[in-house]
Amino acid sequence: MSSHNESIIREPLITGKDITYAKITDDILFPVDNKPNKAWWIGFTVASLGACLWVFAVSWTFWYGIGSWGLNKTVGWAWDITGFVWWVGIGHAGTLISAILLLFRQKWRNSINRSAEAMTIFAVICAATYVVGHMGRPWMALWVFPLPNQYGSLWVNFNSPLIWDVFAISTYFSVSLVFWYTGLLPDFATIRDRSIGIRRRIYSICSFGWTGSVKTWQRFEVVSLILAGISTPLVLSVHTIVSMDFATSLEPGWHTTIFPPYFVAGAIFSGFAMVQTLLLVTRKVLGLENYITMFHIESMNKIILVTGSIVGVAYLTEFFIAYYSGGEYEQYTFLNRFIGPYWWAGCMMYGCNILMTQLMWFKRVRTSIFLSWTLSIVVNIGMWFERFVIIVTSLHRDFIPSSWAMFYPTWVDVSVFIGSIGVFFTCFLLFIRYFPSIAIAEVKLLVKSSSEQAKKKLIDEGHLDPVQVEYYKETLINYDSVEISDYKKNKLK
Amino acid sequence: MSSTKYILGLFDDPDDMMHGIDKLQKNSIPIYDVYTPMPIHGIEAKLGVKESRLGYAAFMFGCLGGTTIFSLVYYFLVHDWPMNIGGKPAFAIPDFIPATFEWTVLFTAFGMTLTFFYATHLFPGRAPRVMDFRATNDRFVIAIDAKGNIPHDDITNVLKEAGAVEIKHNDRKYVSYE
């Protein structure tokens, strides 16, 4: 299995002493096996209050109609579509981690893919609620699908990106769910085999009768690889199609060919920020510091930096093209982002997404848990404002000045948004309570090659280049889960 | 006559278990199956398990999905109710691509995964056929059918020599049945 050793200059992916396969199972299943702690209950109470607010606000919308939102004739899309795109974007990081990083054989994905995929699923659920909410008559939601009807049949229009979006989002959700659930089977079996009574029965049903025999694993690996292979273009197609909802219109500020790559980069950017927001807290509350290490945090920060910079280049390109196109309306739209009545939203967008992200160039920022968490919140806010600016600021002043208007959200708009965050966190907290929040089987694969103790054993054996060993020890200083004194003692010896 | 049905060699290390498989095979002792808490590469080659054909199934399902939705869209937009949109052709292939792509992926994912579940007999409510409860936790288990494989003590010794931490002589095939 591990006939060769991994290079010592690679950071460990599992830290801690006396890590055994049994200890990994126990550590990861601790929140599942035991009653939740106070932090979980506080979080769950707040989140479910938010979810209640969502139920109330959405019921209000369905009862009184879309008129209860702040929309008007000029700004017909506002908070709901902003929320929709924001949530879909957040979902993208989960698929990137589980699919794209699997194809690139990035082993560090093993301990974060499960929770990131869960995040994807909950985020897409939240996104879908906005679409259904905006229909006004949700009982007619089935009409988005090409179903035979008594009007002809009059079919849905497959020339429209809105229909492409129906197909993209529904496929994305169901394929992500299949991918996530297939990966959960071995871990459900682990819980099943160590519990008794009703718990065992429930997890037995969930585990589909998984045994871990040779053929099962062999097929499981083929399925994972192919699902990763098809999810990769799928996730890119989803935000491409979301961007086409805008890009195929004739609206200044929307009608640009750069939108697909720009939206995909922005989606991954915001998604990683949300993963960071969730995992920095989760690892602390669930005591998973040994599995979600500083290397994971720093790697995610690097991805945030790269995608944030791609988004920055896209912003600059938009400005240049607006200037270079010579189109008056296009030029005004982009000027309006700074000098119009929504200048503050523009500042939030450009400030949070470009300027703040550039701090990630500094290793000290990338490896500081507090700063990483703060910046992840900043990015979440910035990316919400990006969608708000693109949607509302472009719409509110386009061609005819007599139609210019302002958009002011009502309490219903605000409550639906805050409520959807509540729904998301309620789902996530239930997930970490009842599901293995880290892919146990996949993490076990790392013990012999990429764990701190395996590397320490290599150092103790002493056949390594001392320069490389020094380099390795220096990288460990940033880890909050490594006792650095162990290595100093070692040096004296 | 002993009542042993299956002999299990429990290893705490995947490398030792691989070594155990080699030893058993050298002694011409047939292996019933191997249960591991995580995927261990190389066992399938040793046990002569053929490469999975799920990839072909996935490809066929993908083709089916793409063909299905493309034909449907053709029927809707070209045959059944062609729309005049600024005089543009009704058979606008580029516009059909997104839906075709999505259903290709959708059918591939569901078709392949359901085939995997079907072929491996996985479904909700299936009684788990567990030979040892720790095989999903921290034990790498080699199972040997005791029937016809005698003497049992020799098998035990081979497993012990290979580094098995525990050897079980189970009277029942599956311990998970009540």
Dump pLDDT digits (tens) for A207-266: 998 998 999 999 999 999 999 999 999 999 999 999 999 999 999 989 989 999 999 999
C-alpha distance from B32 to closest chain A C-alpha (Å):
10
CA distances from A415 to A56, A69, A412 (A): 8, 10, 5
| Residue with the two structure tokens 């950017």 | A269
Distance CA B178, CA B173 (A): 12
Mind listing the pLDDT tens digit for each residue in A82-119? 999 999 999 998 898 889 989 998 888 898 999 999 99
Kindly state the greatest CA–CA separation across chain B: 87
CA distances from B48 to A106, B14, B51 (A): 29, 18, 9
pLDDT at site B177: 66
pLDDT at site A491: 53
Contact B120 A22 (CB under 8 A): no
Nearest CA in chain B to A174: B106
DSSP three-state, residue B85: strand
Q: Which of A20, A208, A213 sits opposite B117 (nearest CB)?
A: A208
C-alpha distance from A154 to closest chain B C-alpha (Å):
7
Residue burial A438-463, b: 16+ Cβ < 10 Å; e: rest: bbbbbbbbbbbbbbbbbbbebbeeee
The arithmetic mean of pLDDT across residues A33-55, rounded, is 93
User: Which residues from chain B sit within 8 angstroms of residue A110, using beta carbons?
Assistant: none
User: Which residues from chain B sit within 8 angstroms of residue A441, using beta carbons?
Assistant: 37-39
User: Which residues from chain A sit within 8 angstroms of residue B39, using beta carbons?
Assistant: 217-218, 220-221, 441, 445
> pLDDT > 90: what percent of chain B?
43
Contact A21 B137 (CB under 8 A): yes
Contact A186 B83 (CB under 8 A): no
Mind listing the pLDDT tens digit for each residue in B62-112? 999 999 999 999 999 999 999 888 999 999 999 999 999 999 999 999 999
The arithmetic mean of pLDDT across residues A159-186, rounded, is 94
User: Which residues from chain B sit within 8 angstroms of residue A209, using beta carbons?
Assistant: 121-123, 125-129
C-alpha distance from A338 to closest chain B C-alpha (Å):
36
Contact A211, B35 (CB under 8 A): yes
Task: Classify the C-alpha dihedral A479-A481-A485-A486 as positive or negative.
Answer: negative
Distance CA A332, CA A193 (A): 65
Angle of helix A79-95 relative to helix A369-388, nearest 10 degrees, comes to 140
The arithmetic mean of pLDDT across residues A136-148, rounded, is 88
- Selection from B143, B178, B158 nearest residue B5 by Cα: B143
Distance CA B101, CA A115 (A): 27
Q: Is the whole model's pTM more than 0.90, yes or no?
A: yes
User: Which residues from chain A sit within 8 angstroms of residue B62, using beta carbons?
Assistant: 230
Contact A187, A439 (CB under 8 A): yes
Contact A219 B137 (CB under 8 A): no
Contact B37, A21 (CB under 8 A): yes
Question: How many residues does the structure list for chain B?
Answer: 178
Query: Cα A444 to chain center, whole Å?
Result: 24
Q: Which of B34, B62, B98 sits opposite A168 (nearest CB)?
A: B98
Asked if the peptide bond before residue B151 counts as cis, ω within 30 degrees of 0, the response is yes
Residue A147 near chain B (CB below 8 Å):
no
Contact B128 A204 (CB under 8 A): yes
Structure tokens at A181: 């659930």
pLDDT at site A2: 46
Running DSSP on this structure, what letter comes out for residue A73? S
Residue B23 burial (CB count, 10 A) = 18
User: Which residues from chain B sit within 8 angstroms of residue A146, using beta carbons?
Assistant: 72, 76
List all residues of chain A from 206 to 225 with a beta carbon under 8 Å from chain B.
Answer: 206-223
Nearest CA in chain A to B65: A171
- Please give the single-letter amino acid code of residue B149: N
Contact A212 B136 (CB under 8 A): yes
CB neighbour list of residue B81: distance below 8 Å, 6 or more residues apart: A152, A153, A154, A155
| Residue with the two structure tokens 């219903």 | A412
Contact A167 B103 (CB under 8 A): yes
Q: Which of A178, A219, A442 sits opposite B120 (nearest CB)?
A: A219
Helix/strand/coil percentages in chain A, nearest 5? 75, 0, 25
| Residue with the two structure tokens 């995992």 | A279
User: Which residues from chain B sit within 8 angstroms of residue A234, using beta carbons?
Assistant: 102, 105
User: Which residues from chain B sit within 8 angstroms of residue A444, using beta carbons?
Assistant: 37-38
Under the banding of pLDDT at 50, 70 and 90, the label for residue B178 is low
Asked if the peptide bond before residue A153 counts as cis, ω within 30 degrees of 0, the response is yes
Contact A226 B101 (CB under 8 A): no
User: Which residues from chain B sit within 8 angstroms of residue A22, using beta carbons?
Assistant: 137-138
pLDDT at site B112: 95
Contact A174 B110 (CB under 8 A): yes
- Please give the single-letter amino acid code of residue B178: E
Angle of helix A369-388 relative to helix A259-285, nearest 10 degrees, comes to 140
CB neighbour list of residue A216: distance below 8 Å, 6 or more residues apart: A210, B120, B122
Under the banding of pLDDT at 50, 70 and 90, the label for residue B58 is very high
Structure tokens at A487: 């290595």
The arithmetic mean of pLDDT across residues B129-156, rounded, is 85
Sheet of B33-35: strand order equals B33-35, B140-145, B6-11, B166-170
Residue B124 burial (CB count, 10 A) = 11
Distance CA B159, CA B139 (A): 14
Mind listing the pLDDT tens digit for each residue in B136-149? 888 899 998 888 77
User: Which residues from chain A sit within 8 angstroms of residue B92, using beta carbons?
Assistant: 159
Radius of gyration of chain B (CA): 26
C-alpha distance from A22 to closest chain B C-alpha (Å):
5
Distance CA A54, CA A416 (A): 5
More confident residue, A5 or A386: A386
- Please give the single-letter amino acid code of residue B2: S
